[in-house]
């Protein structure tokens, strides 16, 4: 991964680079100066930037550019007269001069959308294995990144063990439900989850801002008839909605829904977010869907409300389509993890005889992805 050519363009404001493998990319002088790797720009110990964007001169430009004998880049910036070196591979990994998706709704290549076909290849691991083997942990975390869902077995059926699992790769998010919460049928429940009713596929806590981005649900007891768990890839449902009715997709991305939970004393959580959330550049970043906590929608103009409901119902039908559903029954000692910004979970109703005791906790994806990135850096490659 070496450079062969560096050519100054536009009076030093732009640099054209060519790599030995034929790749070409354009970089801007201000970007290169802002991202200089020298010890006066980046603290050697923690890698944090020591300058602000305003420390860069208004008239920053590349005065001189050359390729070193090792194929890396050397620049001298004017008017500072500052020399900075950049490894060719470092630059190649950060090329931003590339085509962009024209339409909204795209996802990162690390994400694989799935339907019921995932049933035959549910990502699974053993707690004992991922505890002692970093590669196995990386493999399981990479499955969560790719599919937004994975199962883990060999989990102790002791109260709170679900938090120990989450703490192994992320940080438990404590909420009004506690550090962890019990999911079993109760008298006078504060949440319909704590009954034996079936639950439509949903993401958890859409009334929270920010929403918990991971949920873990562990099974301690399960001797009831029914109570099967179902997961659905919300990104796949969004893709199908976009393909079948782009107008419906647009309505659900461009207008906010409202979500609320006030089911227990002292709690009144409210959030205003779309069912399908896109980043400013069109990346599909989140799906929120929860019939129990959807509040009255008041952010949709009246002339569009009926169309908005048609789009909402369309998405709901896709989410309930068995062609998208992966079904399994958790046994004691098993847990599943979902990316709560993407994968919906549901539960079939269950009989009132026998016992079903699940414990759940929330955590966040940034911690999981950080652990995964560390493992990948240790192992020198992307886990899959």
Q: Which is nearer to Fe ion, 253 or 293 (CB)?
A: 293
Select from 4-12, 75-83, 196-204, 319-327 the region that touches Fe ion (CB under 5 A): 196-204
Plot region of 372 (φ>0 → left; ψ -120 to 50 → alpha; else → beta) = alpha
Residue 204 within binding range of Fe ion, rule CB under 5 A: yes
> Closest separation between CB of residue 144 and Fe ion, Å?
17
CB of 107 to Fe ion, least distance (A): 23
Nearer to Fe ion, 32 or 326 (CB): 326
With b for 16 or more beta-carbon neighbours within 10 A and e for fewer, the 4-24 pattern comes to eebebeeebebbbbebeeeee
Tell me the window of 97-105, 198-206, 235-243, 376-384 that interacts with Fe ion (CB under 5 A): 198-206
Q: Which is nearer to Fe ion, 86 or 289 (CB)?
A: 289
Select 104 or 206, whichever has its Cβ closest to Fe ion: 206
Q: Where are the alpha helices (DSSP H) in 229-364?
A: 234-244, 246-254, 302-319
DSSP string for 74-114: EEEEETTTEEEEE-HHHHHTT---S---SSS-B--TT----
For 277-284, the CB contacts below 8 A with 24+ separation are: 277/253, 278/104, 278/105, 278/253, 281/100, 281/101, 282/101, 282/103, 282/104, 282/105, 282/106, 283/106, 283/107, 283/108, 284/104, 284/105, 284/106, 284/107, 284/235, 284/238
Q: What is the nearest approach in angstroms of Fe ion to the Cβ of residue 182?
A: 13
Question: Is the CB of 204 or the CB of 334 nearer to Fe ion?
Answer: 204
Q: Which stretch binds Fe ion (CB under 5 A): 105-113, 165-173, 204-212, 330-338?
A: 204-212
Q: At what angle do helices 246-254 and 234-244 cross, to 10 degrees?
A: 130
Burial status of residue 194 (CB atoms within 10 A of its CB: 0-12, 13-18, 19 or more):
middle
The two three-digit tokens of residue 231, written as one number: 């997961």
Residue 105 or residue 206: which is nearer to Fe ion going by CB?
Answer: 206
In order, the DSSP letters of 127-169 are HHHHHH-HHHHHHHHHHHHHHSEEEEE----STTHHHHHHHTT
Binding mask 138-177 for Fe ion (x = CB under 5 A): ----------------------------------------
| Among 161-169, 197-205, 334-342, 362-370, the segment contacting Fe ion (CB under 5 A) | 197-205
Which region among 82-90, 157-165, 203-211, 287-295 touches Fe ion (by CB under 5 A)?
203-211
- Minimum Å distance from CB 229 to Fe ion? 10
Torsion region of 178: left, alpha or beta (phi above 0 gives left; psi -120 to 50 gives alpha): left
> Minimum distance from CB of 380 to Fe ion (Å)?
38
Comparing C-alpha atoms, which of 198, 219, 196 is closest to residue 331?
A: 219
Shortest distance, position 345 Cβ to Fe ion, whole Å: 6
Interface stretch with Fe ion, choices 69-77, 199-207, 226-234, 291-299 (CB under 5 A):
199-207
Query: Torsions phi, psi of 274, nearest 5?
Result: -75, 160
Residues near Fe ion (CB under 5 A), total: 1
Query: CB nearest Fe ion: which residue?
Result: 204
**At closest approach, how far in Å is the CB of 56 from Fe ion?**
48
At closest approach, how far in Å is the CB of 198 from Fe ion? 12
Q: Which residue's CB is nearer to Fe ion, number 65 or number 193?
A: 193
Nearer Cβ to Fe ion, position 34 or 260?
260
**Interaction between residue 339 and Fe ion (CB under 5 A):** no
Nearer to Fe ion, 236 or 345 (CB): 345
Residues contributing to the site for Fe ion (CB under 5 A): 204
């Amino acid at each position: 991964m070496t450079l062969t050519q560096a050519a100054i363009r536009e009076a030093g404001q732009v640099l054209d680079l060519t790599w030995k493998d034929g790749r070409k990319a354009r970089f801007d002088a201000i970007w290169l100066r802002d991202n200089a790797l020298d010890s006066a720009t980046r603290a050697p110990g923690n890698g944090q930037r020591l300058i602000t964007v305003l420390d860069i001169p208004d008239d920053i430009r590349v005065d001189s550019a050359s390729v070193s004998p090792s194929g890396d880049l050397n620049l001298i910036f004017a008017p500072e007269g500052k020399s900075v070196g950049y490894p060719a591979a470092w630059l190649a990994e950060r090329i931003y001069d590339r085509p962009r998706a024209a339409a909204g709704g795209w996802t990162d290549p690390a994400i694989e959308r799935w339907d019921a076909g995932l049933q035959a290849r549910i990502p699974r691991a053993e707690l004992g294995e991922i505890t002692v083997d970093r590669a196995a942990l990386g493999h399981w975390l990479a499955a969560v990144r790719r599919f937004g869902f994975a199962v883990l077995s060999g989990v102790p059926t002791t109260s709170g063990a679900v938090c120990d699992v989450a703490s192994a790769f992320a940080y438990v998010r404590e909420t009004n439900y506690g550090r962890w919460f019990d999911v079993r049928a109760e008298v006078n429940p504060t949440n319909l989850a704590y009954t034996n009713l079936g639950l439509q596929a949903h993401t958890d806590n859409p009334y929270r801002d920010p929403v918990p981005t991971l949920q873990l649900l562990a099974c301690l007891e399960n001797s009831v008839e029914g109570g099967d768990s179902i997961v659905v890839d919300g990104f796949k449902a969004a893709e199908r909605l976009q393909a079948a009715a782009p107008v419906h997709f647009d309505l659900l991305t461009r207008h906010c829904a409202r979500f609320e939970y006030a089911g227990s004393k002292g709690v009144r959580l409210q959030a205003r977010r779309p069912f399908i959330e896109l980043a400013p550049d069109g990346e599909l970043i989140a799906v929120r869907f929860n019939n129990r906590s959807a509040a009255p929608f008041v952010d949709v103009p009246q002339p569009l409300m009926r169309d908005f409901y048609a789009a909402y119902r369309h998405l709901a039908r896709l989410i309930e389509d068995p062609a998208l559903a992966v079904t399994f029954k958790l046994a004691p000692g098993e847990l599943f993890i979902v990316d709560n910004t993407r994968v919906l979970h549901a539960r079939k109703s269950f009989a009132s005889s026998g016992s079903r005791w699940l414990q759940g906790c929330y955590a966040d994806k940034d911690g999981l992805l950080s652990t995964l990135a560390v493992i990948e850096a240790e192992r020198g490659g992307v886990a899959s």
